[in-house]
Chains A and B, each alone.
Chain A
């Protein structure tokens, strides 16, 4: 037994309202730079829906994850080492930018510059890739939000396609829920396995999967390897980037940005101890439906003194073992068994798990005129409403409905049980017993799912105490601007002598800091010269004319329009010109 510790996350899908706050705050923190305009480390998908990038779950097309060979060996589904190297010059399994979406901004200045007329001026979309005007925006990271585009796109949902034959007739009974997705920080990560340079690695201390930016050579194989398509190619630096589990925050005991800002408080972060020796064997479980129980069996009970001793022998710090004992994630996954992995059939042993949503079931019952809070009604509905259960089973258990049903039944039992208490009715121990729990256990599950405070939802041990002073975001000491070149370097707006993106990158926090400061204080947009016509929409507030965003002015000899600063208070008019204009119109 080799005990390893991993920081992981559970999301309670019943609570997700699809507000995208997690996505936006994540983007502001990590990907509000040029080159990653199209990248969302965290995105929220409406289900049913195609997802982002479009139809990423279609592994017959993209061949992400692992497959079992006929001899029972585990190899990347896209092919082993030789196959990967053979397709290094052109990789047919790499999604095109249009499978994500073409990033764009708007000609906001047209709103100011257009002379007065009968029509309202519009801000036309402009591609951030080619700088050209786009006729129409036809796709984005959440274009099919709230079932937008249904039923036109309904047939494109990969999961729905798989279950369609069984329950085609019941499709009119539309149900939907939201699925927030980050990198899964898998135990058996196929992105790491696909990286020819060895730049991708799983951190021993906390299991976070990271890209070494100094080692990445831009071979793009990780994008193919990841079945969740949570590896992204920064098209400006030519390097892979991914969700970092906000490691600078987690290292000092703070939750990730997506968790911190989650409005529904649906995310839980904690430590899991697992047996790394048995991981390859679990990932190679022959039957796909057995992968969920196989992964579950890897997780070690932190309350077991034997496990704690083994963990200490393996060098896991004491406060990590203590954190594992209080881990909300372990409780949801193992103690209550209500959290399930996303697409275990990819054989990567993902470590971001989900509590399946009961609300589509409750809504369906209530809509049919029955009591949606009664556990017997709910149990019956879970059995008869085949669409939600088989759909959820395709997402979370490779199609096996039993674990999904059990999780939903436990959630339903919790609902009925708590309603009786709220209404002052006597507690019915039969409810808890019907899902194999005692009343106390059902209550503690309710506390964790409904009441848990910040410090109960996020039980994050810090990196080794002796290292705390060296951590990036700490307030104790060490300024995060203390890097080569020092403060005031202005992010990475200048490139080294070898063209775009060469030279030392500034730390991301520094780049974001400068970008924000510039946006808030300067008259002009962030200086993007040298980025060859790419501009970061999020750092641009409509003031000024960044180069490359607008076409060159055809008339007038004042040269290119780009890069010039509009001094007229952003209104595109000289001081006094507007009153002049008005006078002219009046006369």
Chain B
């Protein structure tokens, strides 16, 4: 019988975090489209950024892909195509470690650059600093869990952790499954969910503006003057629908 804390953490908290994520994104899109930007500091400094930023972003994309595969492809599917658990496990671990180290080296380089480059540090807000704590925490615990797994346990997260994640999506959270996973995985899950929850309120929202539509549109964009909004006079209040 799982404890009340477990029920909250693994039965309620994921929904709370995702609810904050979704409503936060919608609200920010309507309220603060102007603030929805990468706030790039490349103009100030590009020598370190040229290495750090692609390392971090590309690493993170691989990490994200790894999470999707690990959490949403059941073990039975990989066994069905003849991939044994042992091979899958070491493959996942080594790829995960490589991507994790890449991401981590990237973020360390970026944070160091942010702290030591005068103009970049001056452009860092309190909001940014809080965000970095959450981001680095999630990355640290994730990488730590992977490293511990590789070094000691050979823990198979696909028998309890992944089914728990999938159970969330059908609104039948199997709290007991998650409660028995190793502590470092549980900490990582909490830190990751916290990151989801703060994400819409930080500069990380730019991830949700990833410009995939660019690949499918003609080069030159024409737009007619909005008859409702000539000049910059009539600004629409944030709670009204935008037709952009």
Contact = CB atoms under 8 A, between A and B. Distances in A.
Interface of A: 76, 81-82, 84-85, 88-92, 94, 96-97, 127, 129-132, 188-189, 192-193, 195-198, 200-205, 212-220, 233, 235-239, 247-248, 251, 463, 467, 470-473, 478, 480, 482-484, 496-505, 507-509, 532-534, 548
25 contacts: A82-B215, A85-B215, A89-B57, A94-B42, A130-B119, A203-B224, A204-B224, A214-B33, A217-B209, A218-B38, A218-B206, A219-B38, A219-B40, A470-B230, A471-B230, A472-B233, A497-B127, A499-B35, A501-B35, A501-B37, A502-B34, A503-B31, A503-B34, A505-B34, A532-B122
A237 B34 contact: yes
Contacts of B49: 90
Interface stretch (B82-90, B150-158, B234-242): B234-242
Nearest to B47: A96
Contact of A89 (B58, B128, B244): B58
Given A217-B37, A247-B231, A532 B32 contact: no
Contacts of B219: 76, 192-193
B233 A89 contact: no
B41 interface: yes
3 smallest beta-carbon distances between A and B, as pairs? A472-B231, A502-B35, A130-B118
A81 B238 contact: no
A39 B123 CA distance: 18
A471 B226 CA distance: 11
B166 interface: no
A499 B126 contact: yes
A481 to B, nearest CB: 9
A90 B219 CA distance: 22
B220 A532 contact: no
B198 to A, nearest CB: 11
A350 to B, nearest CB: 14
B227 interface: yes
A contact face: mostly helix, strand, loop, or mixed? loop
B222 A201 contact: yes
Contacts of B67: none
Contact of A81 (B32, B214, B234): B214
Given A82-B215, A201-B223, A532 B54 contact: no
A218 B203 CA distance: 12
Given A129-B118, A214-B244, A248 B222 contact: no
B37 A237 contact: yes
Interface of B: 28, 31-46, 49-51, 53-54, 56-58, 118-119, 122-128, 201-203, 206, 209, 211, 213-215, 217, 219-225, 227, 230-238, 242, 244
Q: Output the residue of B118, B206, B230 with the most chain A CB within 10 A.
A: B230
Given A90-B50, A90-B53, A508 B209 contact: no
A237 B36 CA distance: 10
A504 B235 contact: yes
Contact of A202 (B124, B128, B221, B244): B221
B105 to A, nearest CB: 14
A203 B232 contact: no
A507 B222 contact: no
Contacts of A499: 35, 39, 125-128, 202-203
B225 A204 contact: yes
Contacts of B39: 218, 238, 499-501
Contacts of B54: 89-90
B235 A483 contact: yes
Nearest to B203: A499
Given A203-B225, A218-B38, 12 more contacts: A129-B122, A189-B220, A192-B219, A204-B225, A235-B44, A463-B225, A467-B230, A471-B231, A472-B232, A501-B39, A507-B233, A548-B122
Q: Output the residue of B28, B54, B222 with the most chain A CB within 10 A.
A: B222
B38 to A, nearest CB: 4
A509 to B, nearest CB: 8
A349 to B, nearest CB: 11
Q: Output the residue of B41, B213, B220 with the most chain A CB within 10 A.
A: B220
Nearest to B217: A198
A215 B33 contact: yes
A67 B159 CA distance: 55
A198 B215 CA distance: 11
Nearest to B131: A499
A82 B124 CA distance: 31
Q: Output the residue of B36, B203, B224 with the most chain A CB within 10 A.
A: B36
A269 B244 CA distance: 31
Q: Output the residue of A89, A198, A202, A205 with the most chain B CB within 10 A.
A: A89
Nearest to A214: B33
A448 to B, nearest CB: 30
Contacts of B202: 498-499
Contacts of A94: 42-43, 46
Nearest to A500: B125
Q: Output the residue of B35, B49, B123 with the most chain A CB within 10 A.
A: B35
Nearest to A74: B219
Nearest to B52: A90
Nearest to B49: A90
Contacts of A96: 43-46
Nearest to B228: A470
Contacts of B57: 89
A497 B32 CA distance: 10
Given A216-B37, A235-B123, A478-B233, A504 B118 contact: no
Contacts of A196: 211, 214
Contacts of B33: 214-215
Contacts of A202: 220-223
B239 to A, nearest CB: 10
Contacts of A498: 28, 32, 35, 127, 201-203
Contacts of B42: 90-91, 94, 220
B214 A480 contact: no
A204 B223 contact: yes
B56 to A, nearest CB: 8
A92 to B, nearest CB: 7
Nearest to B46: A96
Given A131-B118, A498-B202, A218 B233 contact: no
Given A85-B214, A90-B49, A239-B37, A203 B223 contact: yes
A344 to B, nearest CB: 18
B222 A473 contact: no
B37 A483 contact: no
A94 B220 CA distance: 21
A235 B32 CA distance: 18
Nearest to A99: B43
Q: Output the residue of A85, A214, A463 with the most chain B CB within 10 A.
A: A214
Contacts of A218: 37-40, 206
A212 B44 CA distance: 24
Contacts of A217: 36-38, 206, 209, 211
Contacts of A236: 123
A358 B209 CA distance: 51
Q: Output the residue of B28, B40, B128 with the most chain A CB within 10 A.
A: B40
Nearest to A97: B43
